[in-house]
Structure 1
Amino acid sequence: MMNSTIYKTLFTLYLLSLLTINSVVAQNKKEADLTRATAEFKSLRYVSAIKELSPILKTDTANVKAQEMIAYSYKMIKNYEEAMYWYEKLTKQLPVKPEWFLYYAEALANNQQYEHSEALYRKYYSLIPTDKRAAAFSTSNLDGLNKNSGNWKVGFTNLNSQGSDYSPIFYNDGLLFTSNRAGKRFSRRIFQWDNTPFSNLYTIPTLKEIKVIDPDSLMSIAGSKNNKNYRFNDDDTAPTSNDTKTIGNYNTSLERDTMALLLEKGLNISLLKGALNSKFHDGSAAIFPDGSIIFTRNNYYKGTARSSKDGVNKLKMYTVSGNDLGRITEFPYNSDEYSTGHPTLNVDGTILIFASDKPGGYGGSDLYYCVRSGNGQWTRP
């Protein structure tokens, strides 16, 4: 009888120890998973962070830290539908962070839910009345958005791809613009923020080549069974990483960029010649009267990439000049610790306006200007 009791006691202790060990292992795995996700998030690899955070939130739905990171990650890759979903959850938490209302409002505005967005901007302003941006947003006139809509016609042009195409400026008889469209050659480099190619500056020689088209009908024709010229991969199956031109990674929005393949037919789109385009982001430029170009690039100069104290490679502005655009000089008010970029110039090239998140602004990124003096130097912004 005594032996039976001892065996039962030992067996119970054994089971309890197993449960304890399993619980500790499970807890350690949760902590390891969250640590790995946090590392991806802090490294600005938002697509990878989302991949790590999604399974965590399936099993730990109340994990506010994970919710905050996945919401911000979706915001930064411009998936505003998912950002709205997670920020709605976060704004119901206690205690609540004021910026959650701001980011939720931004996501709603990007989805054209303006009235709901305005209400959340007001909520953010009530929490942070010193933020001048919030004051402007909370008093915005929604009807004013359509005030002059009849004076303009907006169309989808044949310059577009399934990537990001933006910042067009007149250049000689044509156009200069920024794009991260998939190139014709394989690339080993990828922007891990959203798993897309790095941006470059492209030119088109004449404006008459630019046409307004209907993208929906174009893609419908491309995807029809009768059209064998434009397949999304070789066997019409679901896309995989083998179908990409970026080795080892892919973003499905750029998978075999069918739109660009169709639209580029008959267009003379080419990379801007000279020393400007690098292996990192190059884009958003303005042109001086003498043909020199001031442009935005990652903090990469003379073959060296530099980062801020917290390990982030910021944006800087550079000027490329010379008959062959072969000489690059750095803007004197750049910094490793904050970004400067997206320049624009007045007609004679003596006033420069640009964006920066440098300290001392209203918050986030602000617009600054400086003037070119008689000796060619820029005044302090």
Structure 2
Amino acid sequence: MKVKAILLLTFLSISSAYSQLGLTQAKADRKYDKYAYIDAIEIYEKVAEKGHKSVDLFEKLGNSYYFNGEYDKAERWYSELFALSEDVPSEYYFRYAQSLKAVGKYDKADEYMKKFYQKTNDTQGLQDLQEHKEYLEQIRKGSDRYSVEDSGINTEYSDYGSVFKDSDLIFASARKSKDVFQKKHTWNDQYFTNLYVAKVGDDGKLSDAKEFSKELDSKFHESTPVFTKDGNTVYFTRNNYNDGKKGKSDDKIMKLKVYKATLKDGKWEDITELPFNSDNYSVAHPALSADEKTLYFSSDMPGGYGLSDIYKVAINENGTFGTPENLGEKINTNLRETFPFITDKNELYFSTDGRLGVGGLDVFSSKMNKDNSFTVVKNVGVPVNSPKDDFAYVVNTKTHIGYFTSNRDGGVGSDDIYKFKENVCEQVIKGVITDQVSSQPLPGAKVSLFDANMELIKSLEADSKGEFIFEDGVECDKKYYVRAENQDYETKEINVITPLKSGETRADIALQKKVMPVDVGTDLAKVFDISIIYFDLDKWNIRPDAAVDLEKIIAVMNKFPNMKVDIRSHTDSRQTHKYNERLSDRRAKSTLEYMVKNGISRSRLSARGYGETQLVNGCSDGIPCSEADHQKNRRSEFIVLSMD
């Protein structure tokens, strides 16, 4: 993350009170103040190797590695820091926790994240950590969703932050260019980044990387462009430098700004900064909505929730811009949110270190609702996320091929672009709408699919067999509601959770008639969808939940005072035949006594237990059956014997 560290919108606040370790450390401090971290690391380590110890020394040495993305090395010095003193600013607890994750010490990392949340009074972060102690298992749960590999164009330098442009991929790189006057940054001894273009193969592999545009290049950093569909407008990130003029903040730092340029006769012209930029805060990493009416970006402008937040701003028809709006606490935390990307399906992807993750910056996603609110933010999981920094996620939703950047172990350079293929999980929700009593299909029934927030996705009519299927808009590992309606029946709605694997999820719905005919032979249990009158194990006392169902039968018998009913209780085949017969008989008679006690004449009721003698399937003794199959045999019936 060495070059990208400059572009993360998090800038060090450095104390001027240095420890008195002599001229050697003073020299390192001067380099540290100028962000010359490579030089500082060498000198600080020489001081530490001589046995010198101080909070200030270990803070600076840890930071020197941390802000270059070398978390494993930062962990060593932060460990020394906390062994010396825990009386340090709260941000060191956070940095130490992230560094611990980089070396796989997750339990200790959670311990220091908890202390960080306590010190910063972050009740939400603390609550999330306490309620999701198994968060790593959840993150790793969908590890087969992605296939990840090197993109094919990485160098020993920093390569990062890609975006699609027609059949090409545009990205930023600190690689050596043809410019003999190309400058290096003292932060990491790498060249300032320029924009490059690479060809995208059918399999997503990249090749033929070359400089994208001389007109957009400056002697400072350019990165993270986004193009309009017609290819004639680009928004991109650059240090505060334009028309040969360098701008600095009040504290003498070149912040980041988003610029706009227009393609005219094959050249990028009219490079202008956007009106909501500032010399005193950074604006970076633009992303366009599918309709190109909204620009998303990251900024540490005043009034945000954390170190950097994600914002959006309207692009007016006349080319002017609205007022930037913070995406709110549903997306932003008190730490870093950056590198937004929004798909043509209104899915927002971004990176943050403010949520429970694998380590460093993790990629998260959230779906935008029709009212522009966002669904619950989810970690996209491994292998996209790693113990290091993972960011700048983009994906083609049609090919399911995309790219992200990471400084994970095993890469070619400090930051590398990785190609991924989404192993698409495809789900459909299907079922049949039937009459609850007769089980006959109900053709033409209206069936509606809603998402977890009760937003309507689609409505359709059941076919001639009462069957329906929802294919578009159905995702894996999601909660949905399916509603069935028919003018002669009561509307019914059920919830459905699709699994995290491809396939079909059933959502059969049996509707109850608004007016239900009752005649001799009718089973009132089926009329009211009473599968079983529940008793505690091996008991025959009426439970409160069973009493509710019995009250329905009592109400019908009160409405028809001449109705006589036979109560029949059945068991499954488990236990002995004699035991089941006795148990079911006691339960049937217990049911009768309850109804008599609640006003039904004994002369109108009869009761008998049938044990396992009338199984509705083949689940007899010695036949292996599922619990669901056994459940079908455990039933109660209320058969109408006469109506006169």
* TM over 0.5, shorter chain: yes
Aligned to 2:331: none
Structure 1 pair 209/203, CA: closer, same or farther in 2 (3 Å)?
A: farther
Q: Is residue 45 of structure 2 the alignment partner of residue 105 of structure 1?
A: no
Q: How far apart, in 2, do the equivalents of 1:84 and 1:328 lie?
A: 42
Q: How far apart, in 1, do the equivalents of 2:91 and 2:177 lie?
A: 38
Which piece of structure 1 moves more, 83-92 or 131-140? 131-140
The superposition leaves residues 187-238 of structure 1 with CA deviations (integer Å, 9 ceiling, x where unpaired) of 55101111111111111244348538xxxxxxxxxxxxxxxxxxxxxxxxxx
Q: Give how far 1:154 is off.
A: 0.8
Letter in 1 for 2:32: F
Structure 1 pair 54/206, CA: closer, same or farther in 2 (3 Å)?
A: closer
Aligned to 2:171: 177
Q: How far apart, in 1, do the equivalents of 2:262 and 2:43 lie?
A: 44
Letter in 2 for 1:150: D
Q: Is residue 58 of structure 2 the alignment partner of residue 67 of structure 1?
A: yes
The superposition leaves residues 347-377 of structure 1 with CA deviations (integer Å, 9 ceiling, x where unpaired) of 1211111111122222211111111123322
Q: Is residue 112 of structure 2 the alignment partner of residue 116 of structure 1?
A: no
Contact 2:37 2:187 in 1 (8 A): yes
Q: How far apart, in 1, do the equivalents of 2:313 and 2:56 lie?
A: 41
Structure 1 pair 188/318, CA: closer, same or farther in 2 (3 Å)?
A: closer
The superposition leaves residues 284-311 of structure 1 with CA deviations (integer Å, 9 ceiling, x where unpaired) of 1111233211111111111111211112
Letter in 2 for 1:58: E
Contact 1:275 1:320 in 2 (8 A): no
Structure 1 pair 29/165, CA: closer, same or farther in 2 (3 Å)?
A: same
Structure 1 pair 163/115, CA: closer, same or farther in 2 (3 Å)?
A: farther
Structure 1 pair 269/85, CA: closer, same or farther in 2 (3 Å)?
A: same
Q: How many residues align?
A: 300
Q: Give how far 1:112 is off.
A: 4.5
The superposition leaves residues 81-128 of structure 1 with CA deviations (integer Å, 9 ceiling, x where unpaired) of 210011112223142332211001122234454333222211211211
Structure 1 pair 312/118, CA: closer, same or farther in 2 (3 Å)?
A: same
Aligned to 2:229: 289
Aligned to 2:303: 360
Q: How far apart, in 2, do the equivalents of 1:78 and 1:133 lie?
A: 23
Q: How far apart, in 2, do the equivalents of 1:339 and 1:357 lie?
A: 6
Structure 1 pair 312/347, CA: closer, same or farther in 2 (3 Å)?
A: same
Aligned to 1:145: 139
Structure 1 pair 29/116, CA: closer, same or farther in 2 (3 Å)?
A: closer
Letter in 2 for 1:156: D
Aligned to 1:31: 22
Structure 1 pair 66/352, CA: closer, same or farther in 2 (3 Å)?
A: same
The equivalences for 1:312-327 within 5 A come to: 312-323=253-264, 324-327=267-270
Structure 1 pair 209/186, CA: closer, same or farther in 2 (3 Å)?
A: farther
The structure number with the bigger radius of gyration is: 2
Letter in 2 for 1:305: K
SS of residue matched to 2:31: helix
Q: TM-score, normalised by structure 1?
A: 0.72
Letter in 2 for 1:66: L
Aligned to 2:290: 347
User: Residue 278 of structure 1 is aligned with which of 198, 212, 218?
Assistant: 218
Q: Give how far 1:47 is off.
A: 1.0
Question: Which is richer in helix?
Answer: 1
Structure 1 pair 360/137, CA: closer, same or farther in 2 (3 Å)?
A: farther
Contact 1:131 1:362 in 2 (8 A): no
Contact 1:119 1:138 in 2 (8 A): no
Aligned to 2:271: 328
Percent identity over the alignment?
Answer: 30
Contact 2:173 2:194 in 1 (8 A): yes
Q: How far apart, in 2, do the equivalents of 1:317 and 1:96 lie?
A: 35
Q: Is residue 24 of structure 2 the alignment partner of residue 83 of structure 1?
A: no
Aligned to 2:635: none
Q: How far apart, in 2, do the equivalents of 1:136 and 1:277 lie?
A: 43
Q: How far apart, in 1, do the equivalents of 2:28 and 2:153 lie?
A: 37
SS of residue matched to 1:103: helix
Structure 1 pair 150/53, CA: closer, same or farther in 2 (3 Å)?
A: same
Structure 1 pair 339/347, CA: closer, same or farther in 2 (3 Å)?
A: same
Q: How far apart, in 1, do the equivalents of 2:143 and 2:153 lie?
A: 23
SS of residue matched to 2:148: coil
Aligned to 2:191: 197
User: Residue 239 of structure 2 is aligned with which of 298, 315, 320?
Assistant: 298
Q: How far apart, in 1, do the equivalents of 2:124 and 2:281 lie?
A: 21
Letter in 1 for 2:150: F
User: Residue 307 of structure 1 is aligned with which of 230, 237, 248?
Assistant: 248
Q: Give how far 1:139 is off.
A: 5.5
Aligned to 1:127: 119
Q: How far apart, in 2, do the equivalents of 1:357 and 1:135 lie?
A: 25
SS of residue matched to 2:226: strand
Q: How far apart, in 2, do the equivalents of 1:138 and 1:105 lie?
A: 16
Moved over 4 A (4+): 131-140, 184-188
Structure 1 pair 39/94, CA: closer, same or farther in 2 (3 Å)?
A: same
Aligned to 1:250: none
Q: How far apart, in 1, do the equivalents of 2:217 and 2:127 lie?
A: 40
Which piece of structure 1 moves more, 112-121 or 359-368? 112-121
The superposition leaves residues 40-71 of structure 1 with CA deviations (integer Å, 9 ceiling, x where unpaired) of 11111111221232222233522221111111
Contact 2:182 2:219 in 1 (8 A): no
Q: How far apart, in 2, do the equivalents of 1:36 and 1:188 lie?
A: 27
Letter in 1 for 2:73: E
Contact 2:195 2:213 in 1 (8 A): no
Q: How far apart, in 1, do the equivalents of 2:213 and 2:301 lie?
A: 31
Q: Give how far 1:35 is off.
A: 2.5
Letter in 2 for 1:143: E
Q: How far apart, in 1, do the equivalents of 2:253 and 2:130 lie?
A: 32
The equivalences for 1:228-307 within 5 A come to: 267-291=207-231, 292-307=233-248
Q: Is residue 316 of structure 2 the alignment partner of residue 373 of structure 1?
A: yes
Contact 1:172 1:205 in 2 (8 A): no
Aligned to 1:165: 159
Aligned to 2:88: 96
Structure 1 pair 111/286, CA: closer, same or farther in 2 (3 Å)?
A: farther
Contact 2:182 2:191 in 1 (8 A): no
The superposition leaves residues 156-214 of structure 1 with CA deviations (integer Å, 9 ceiling, x where unpaired) of 121211222222211122111111123356555101111111111111244348538xx
Question: Which is richer in strand?
Answer: 2
Structure 1 pair 138/101, CA: closer, same or farther in 2 (3 Å)?
A: farther
Unaligned runs of 5+ in 1: 1-27, 213-266
Contact 1:175 1:207 in 2 (8 A): no
Q: How far apart, in 1, do the equivalents of 2:43 and 2:114 lie?
A: 34
Q: How far apart, in 2, do the equivalents of 1:127 and 1:80 lie?
A: 22
Structure 1 pair 35/352, CA: closer, same or farther in 2 (3 Å)?
A: same
SS of residue matched to 2:183: coil
Letter in 2 for 1:95: D
Unaligned runs of 5+ in 2: 1-18, 325-644
Contact 1:316 1:335 in 2 (8 A): yes
Structure 1 pair 44/368, CA: closer, same or farther in 2 (3 Å)?
A: same
